[in-house]
Amino acid sequence: AKKNKGLIKDKKSFSPPKEIKEFRKAYSDLLKEFDKPLIVYVDNLDRCSPFNAISTLEAIRLFLFLPNTAFVIAADEDMIRLAVPEYHKGASQRHQTDYLDKLIQIPVHVPRPGVLEIRVYLMMLTAQDHGVTDAQLETIRCALEESLRLSWKQPQITIDELLQDHAIEKHSELRSKFVVAEQLAPLLAESTNINGNPRIVKRLLNQVKMRKKTAHRRGMQLDEKTITKLVIFERCLGTQATNKLYELIDKEKGFPKVLAELENSEVEFDEIKLPEEWKLDLAFIDKWSKLPPMFTEMDLTPAAYLSRESIPMGAVNAVMSGAAQKLVEDLMKQKVRVSGVNSTAITTTPKEEYMSVMDGLIENFKLIGDWTERPTGIYGAVLLAKRDDKCCLSLLTFLKSLPRQRWLNPILKELEGTK
């Protein structure tokens, strides 16, 4: 016994309040010696799972009243409020509302970018991609920033004013790109499937660049403006509308009559017979048709080929975010009519991603050969459709193209009542 004495130590008592107190003291002493404030940035907190998001905020609470320490937390406010019940079971609506109000001392609400902000963002991306020097890029940035700051009392800086006194290589080419960026800004800022979301805008431009390189390698005479106009159509109206566009291009040998009518100023918009798949957003169609280049005299066969063969239609959602892809996966697993988890997931996904998610669901459904039985995921699609009119119309259009089944009839009636 004496020989083994000391091998087994007594269990240490653990006191959370004591541990926290000692940690606070050690941390304060360390900061005192450091003699500088500590600022911690927590970005994209709303991308965590609801439980982990609140767990992180709870951990931050320990540091809130320590000297010379500040936290800057970037997150979607609604998502955090909806995550509270996942951590604090049975949390009331009042608890959800009060949670952030008590935790965040100085809230800063960042508004969604408008037309002017998207114009500046597009011009900066364009200039950077054009290959201007660092000094020129900084000068352009400062001029755009100053113009944006004073936009409340004076017109925005013009493209020629922005480029004056700059010895930029291929000056006229950059000017032409800036003109396109200026024309794109209203569509990207106001379309409900983009809403000025900078990440979506960047992904769209990346897709344009990828297609341009593919077209160049294949010897296709397609300019960036044409590709950009078609990519925006795909993003804003979705897969079914895009399929219809390329179907018309094939059927009418590259010159769809409906596009010529849309671009003809003498034809009233209301008189044009649009495909059903295009009626998701008539305001967008009207604005998009006026975006250069005009397609009336242009053979769109190469563009359609590039989109379907080089970039398969299933990849229209190459501009889909990780959160949207995750939502597609979750909704495709739904077997029951009601899902609180998926309802929360839809709420916490940006609305501008909804159509991309619905397109992803429909692409999955197209792989199904036998529709005699209700497939897994159909209730997930219905759940999303009931949150968004465009998604509802898109799902209805697809479901009506299927062989009519008994299980399908009540779903069609439910969706038609939602419209």
Beta bridge partners of 39: 70
pLDDT score recorded for residue 123: 94
**What values do phi and psi take at 39, rounded to 5?**
-115, 125
Q: What are phi and psi of 382, to 5 degrees?
A: -65, -40
Residue 319: its pLDDT value, please?
A: 56
Q: Give one DSSP letter per residue of 270-324, joined into a string.
A: GGS---GGGTT-HHHHHHHHTSSSP-TTS--HHHHHIIIIIS-GGGGGGG--HHH
Q: Find how far residue 346's CA is from the centre of its chain.
A: 13
Task: Return per-residue pLDDT of the chain as tens, 419 residues.
Answer: 555 555 555 555 556 667 777 877 887 788 788 778 888 899 888 777 778 888 888 888 877 777 788 889 988 887 788 778 777 776 677 777 788 888 888 888 888 889 999 999 999 999 998 888 999 999 999 999 999 999 999 999 999 999 887 788 888 889 988 998 998 898 888 887 888 888 889 888 888 888 888 888 888 878 888 888 998 998 888 888 888 999 999 999 999 999 999 999 899 999 999 998 898 888 889 999 998 889 998 999 988 888 776 554 444 445 567 778 889 999 999 999 989 889 988 888 888 889 889 988 998 898 888 888 999 999 999 999 999 988 998 899 889 888 888 899 999 998 987 65
Contacts 24+ apart (CB under 8 A), 21-24: 23/62, 24/62, 24/66
Under a CB-based contact definition with an 8 Å cutoff, are residues 297 and 274 in contact? no
How is residue 71 annotated by DSSP? E
pLDDT in the model for residue 5: 57
- Phi and psi angles of residue 113, each rounded to the nearest 5 degrees, phi first: -60, 140
Q: Give 256: exposed, middle or buried? Use CB within 10 Å, 0-12, 13-18, 19+.
A: buried
Q: What's the pLDDT at 47?
A: 75
pLDDT at 299: 92
Measured distance CA(147)–CA(55) in Å, rounded: 42
Which two tokens mark 180? 């396109």
Predicted local distance difference test score (pLDDT) of residue 165: 76
| Overall pTM surpassing 0.85 (yes/no) | no
Q: Give pLDDT, residue 259.
A: 95
Distance CA 123, CA 118 (A): 8
Peptide bond just before 312 cis, omega within 30 deg? no
Listed in sequence order, the residues at least 6 apart from 29 whose beta carbon sits closer than 8 Å to its beta carbon are none
Q: Name residues whose C-beta falls within 8 Å of residue 40's C-beta, 6 or more positions apart in sequence.
A: 63, 69, 70, 71, 72
Residue 18: what pLDDT?
Answer: 76
| CA–CA separation, 276 and 274 (whole Å) | 6
Within 8 A by CB and 6+ apart from 27, the residues are 63, 66
Cα–Cα dist 327/241, whole Å: 22
Give the 3-state secondary structure of 4-27.
CCCCCCCCCCCCHHHHHHHHHHHH
Per-residue confidence (pLDDT) for residue 88, from 0 to 100: 75
Listed residue (382, 399, 367, 369) closest to 331, CA to CA = 382
Which pLDDT does position 1 carry in this prediction? Answer: 52
Q: What is the pLDDT of residue 325?
A: 83
Q: Which residues contact 202 (CB under 8 A, 6 or more apart)?
A: 125
pLDDT of residue 418: 61
What pLDDT is recorded for position 12?
Answer: 57
Instruction: Please say whether the beta carbons of 304 and 246 come within 8 A.
Output: yes
203: nearest Cα among 344, 324, 46? 324
Which pLDDT belongs to residue 356? 86
Q: What angle do CA 331, 340, 112 make, to 5 degrees?
A: 75
